A and B are shown apart, each in its own frame.
Chain A
Amino acid sequence: MNQNEKLNSQPLRKVFVTVGSTSFDELIAAINKQSFLAAIQSLGVEEIKVQYGNGKVLPRTSHNEKLKLESFQYKSSIIEDFNWADLVISHGGAGSVLESLRAKKKLIIVVNKELMENHQLELAEALTRNGYALLASTESLVEAIKNLDFQKLKPLPEPNVFPVVTVLHQELNNCS
C-alpha cells in the first residue's frame, strides 16, 4: 500500500535500459528473465526500450500486449531516450550514468564487473553513497526493482567546468 502511494505520485511507465558503447551480456540476460519482466510489470511499466550494443545476447522481441519491448543496437545520440524514460537501468559507464542523472531521471546502475580494474564500481558507489542513484548487480536487479525506494534520492548538482577553464587560462598565460 505504502509503495503504491509512492508510485502513484511518480508513475513509472517507460523504462530505458542501456549498456553503452561496448557489450554487457549479463545485463541483457538479466532483463530477458521472466522474473524481471514480471517485477517491472507489477510497477506499472508499459514500455521498455533497450540499447544492447554489440553483445552476443539479444533482448527478447515482445512479451505480451501489455508490455511493449523495443530494442536498438546503437544510436548517435541517446539523450532523447533518457528524456523519454521514467526509469533508467544503465551500465556503470560514466557517460550514460551522468547523462541520465542530468536528465533528472531515476537511475539504477548495474555495474559490469568484467571491465578493467572494475573502475565503474567506484563511480557507482560514490553516486549511491551521496544518494543520487541506486546500485544493483545483475543478480540482485530483480530484488532491487521489487524494493524500489526513490524517496531518498537527491538530484545531482550541476557540473562546473569553469575551474578547469581557469587552469587552462592560467597555463596559456604562463607560457608567454
Chain B
Amino acid sequence: MMIGLLVLLSAFLLVWSAYKEQARITTYRRNMSKSANWTCWYKQDFERFIQSCAVNKRRRSLMVVLGSGGHTAEMIQILRAFGQTMLSNEDKSLCSLENTCQVVYIVASSDNHSIAKARCLHDRDGALSLFSYQTLCIPRSRYVGQSYFSSLFTTIYSFMVSCWKLLWCDTPDVLICNGPGTCVPVVFIMFIRNVFYNLARRKSRTRTVFIESVARVRSLSLSGRILYPFVHRFLVQWPDMMEKYPLVEYVGRCL
C-alpha cells in the first residue's frame, strides 16, 4: 500500500516535471522565434561564444545525429560552416581553440558512409580539425520504405538500445539533429535527462536544435512532427512553414 502510493507519487512528480520542462521549452522558443528573423550571420553571437569559452575554460560538447543520404550531406555542410567560423576567428588569443568543443556523432548502425564523411571533416577537410570527436552507433528506427506500423516496433527497439547507450555518455551541451528517424529516441532521452537534471537541481542541461530538411517545404516530416514540442530550437528552411507552425524559426536554405 505504502509502496504503491510512493510509486504513484513519484510517477506524478515525473510527469509533472516533464510537463513543466515542456512548458519551459515552449516559452523559450516563443521568445526566440519572436526576437529575430534570421537573414544574415550575427557575428556578435560568435564572439560572445568565443569569449565565454575563454572565461569559463570549459570544453563544450556538441552531439550530432547523422542520418543517411541527404540528411548527412546537410549536416556536414552545417558543421563545416561551424568549423570555419571557429577557424576564421582572428583573435586567437581569446581562447585556445582546442578547448572549445568536442563532437559526439550518433550514427545509425550499418551506416559507414556517414562516419566516413564525418571523419573526413575532421582529418582531411580540416574544417573541424581543432575538435576532438567520437562516434556512437545506435540501431535504425526506420528503414527507407518501411511501413508506419512496423516502424513502430523498430523505433521502440532503437529507443531501448539508444537509451542504454546514451544514459552513460556525458551530457552534451547542444544536440543538433536534422530529421532522420534516428534522432527521435535521442531527443527524447535528452529531454528525459533534462527532466531528471531539473529534479536533482543540477545545472548541466542539453539544448536541442532541430533543423528540418530542405526537402520539406510546407509540412513537417514525421520526426519533425513528433519532436516539435520537445526541442529548444526548431529551424526550417522554407518561409511557408512559418504560417502553419508558429514556433519555428526560418533560417534560409543551407544546402
Contact = CB atoms under 8 A, between A and B. Distances in A.
Interface in B215-252: 215-219, 221-222, 232-233, 235, 238, 240, 249, 251-252
B171 to A, nearest CB: 10
Contact of B233 (A119, A123, A167): A167
Q: How large, as a class, is the contact surface on chain B?
A: 35 or more
A165 B174 contact: no
B214 interface: yes
Given A119-B215, A164-B235, A171 B251 contact: no
Contacts of A170: 45, 49
A94 B255 contact: yes
A126 interface: yes
A175 B59 CA distance: 12
Q: Is the interface of A mostly helix, strand, loop or mixed?
A: helix
B91 to A, nearest CB: 15
B173 interface: yes
A92 to B, nearest CB: 8
A122 to B, nearest CB: 4
Contact of B46 (A94, A169, A175): A169
Q: How large, as a class, is the contact surface on chain A?
A: 35 or more
Q: Which one of A157, A174, A175 has the greatest number of beta carbons of chain B within 10 Å?
A: A175
Nearest to A96: B70
A67 interface: no
Q: Which one of A22, A115, A159 has the greatest number of beta carbons of chain B within 10 Å?
A: A159
Given A119-B216, A164-B235, A175-B207, A98 B82 contact: no
A173 B254 contact: no
